[in-house]
Amino acid sequence: MSLSDRLGAPARASSRLKIALAVDLYDWHARDLTAAFARAGAIAAPIRLAQCGFDTQRPSGLVVPGFGADLPDAVFVRAVGFGTFESVTLRLSVLHSLRDIGAPVLNSARTIELCVDKAATSFALARCGIPTPSTWTVQSEQAARQIVRREAGRGPLVLKPLFGAQGFGLKLIRRVEDLPPFEAVEGVYYLQRFVTGNRNGFRDIRLFVSQGEVIAAMTRHAKHWITNVKLGARPEWFEPDAAMIELALRSSAAVGADFAGVDIIEDAAGAPYVLEVNSMPGWRGLQKVAPFSIADRLVDHVLARIGGRAAETAG
């Protein structure tokens, strides 16, 4: 069945829970989640947030294709999708509104806003006292040059796209001349202290958090300092100790995430730093080394949360 067919198919009438699975493409992750919900006795109905909107003549005031006049029992957000500032704002408004009228949204629009904006993530982590590399975010090339002149003598900086993902667009900055022009960074320079590792080669650690529990973790080994699996890094199963688990849970809580991918790197002395918290994390690389279905764990937590909410409402 094609993507458009899957996304346009209405949720079947059933007494089973019906979960709206917000996706951009019906990819491996969407198929994995759909199968996991089915194994758990629930229905996952793929939707595109780009096809949702508002209709104040409806009882709910919202349009969620595939659900008619009903609302989903919950919304699991795998992707918001690319779009203009206006279209992405509308999609997030739909998620905010769904939560406001009682449909659980995982992750919430607020969490997505915090995590998709790396500057907001860094601020949230630092504000909660979580160790994270020193970070500067400015909106002029002159200000960025001043930061590099002041800080590069202590070691290189990493320039990241504010809304980037999967390791694309990262650049190591050792001197002012390494900075790209203002237009090339969409008007925002997000600079972060580069953390040198403590082993041969490069590696970082991805911990997958769900509902206050670390359900899986891996190290990502690479020959290059960008340690993303899609760019060739090698995943390896990792058993975190209690201190690292606590750090991942605190990081997830700092952005209010129901589930998250927390990226941690250790410096030459072995001290951990949280690089990012991803509110729409992939797990295909992690699944290759995990001894169980990560999607099953996620789905179990989603359904337990909905059940607990239903019980509280009934009580």
Q: Quick one: DSSP state of residue 154?
A: G
Which pLDDT does position 15 carry in this prediction? 58
pLDDT at 158 over 50: yes
Q: Which residue has the tokens 């504010």?
A: 162
Please name the residues in contact with 254: beta carbons below 8 A apart, sequence gap of 6 or more: 124, 125, 127, 128, 130, 277
The type of residue at 143 is: A
State how far the Cα of 7 lies from the Cα of 77, in Å rounded to an integer.
14
State how far the Cα of 194 lies from the Cα of 173, in Å rounded to an integer.
9
State how far the Cα of 153 lies from the Cα of 75, in Å rounded to an integer.
47
Which position has the higher pLDDT, 16 or 99?
A: 99
Which position has the higher pLDDT, 234 or 5?
A: 234
Q: Tell me if 8 sits within 8 A of 67, measured CB to CB.
A: no
DSSP codes joined into one string, 21-70:
EE-SS--HHHHHHHHHHHHTT-EEEEE-GGG-EE-TTSSSSEE-TTSTTS
Find the angle CA(272)-CA(274)-CA(277) to the nearest 5 degrees: 155
Q: Which residue has the tokens 């408004």?
A: 93
State how far the Cα of 310 lies from the Cα of 312, in Å rounded to an integer.
5
DSSP codes joined into one string, 210-239:
ETTEEEEEEEEEESSS---GGGTPEEEE--
State the first-to-last Cα distance of the chain, in angstroms, to the nearest integer: 42
- pTM score, whole prediction: 0.88
Which pLDDT does position 309 carry in this prediction? 46
Which pLDDT does position 12 carry in this prediction? 39
**Of 80, 88, 91, the residue nearest 280 (C-alpha):** 80
pLDDT at 2 over 80: no
Kindly list the strands in the beta sheet with 74-77, ordered across the sheet, starting from the edge strand earlier in the chain: 43-47, 18-22, 74-77, 105-106
**Domain ranges for the chain:** 3-106, 114-130+197-290, 135-193
Which pLDDT does position 6 carry in this prediction? 37
pLDDT tens digit sequence for 249-273: 999 999 999 999 999 999 888 899 9
pLDDT at 161 over 90: no
Which pLDDT does position 8 carry in this prediction? 41
- The count of other CB atoms within 10 Å of the CB of residue 140 is 12
Q: Tell me if 3-106 shares its fold with 135-193.
A: no
Helices (H), 71-140: 85-100, 109-116, 118-127
CA gyration radius for the chain? 21
Coil vs helix vs strand at 128: coil
State how far the Cα of 211 lies from the Cα of 254, in Å rounded to an integer.
13
Which pLDDT does position 314 carry in this prediction? 40
Coil vs helix vs strand at 292: coil
Taking the domain 3-106, which CATH number applies? 3.40.50.20
Q: What is the mean pLDDT of residues 107-128?
A: 96
Q: How confident is the model at residue 305 (pLDDT cuts 50, 70, 90)?
A: confident
Coil vs helix vs strand at 96: helix
**114-130+197-290 belongs to which CATH class?**
alpha beta
Average pLDDT, rounded, for the chain = 88
Is the domain defined by 135-193 classed in CATH 3.30.1490?
Answer: yes
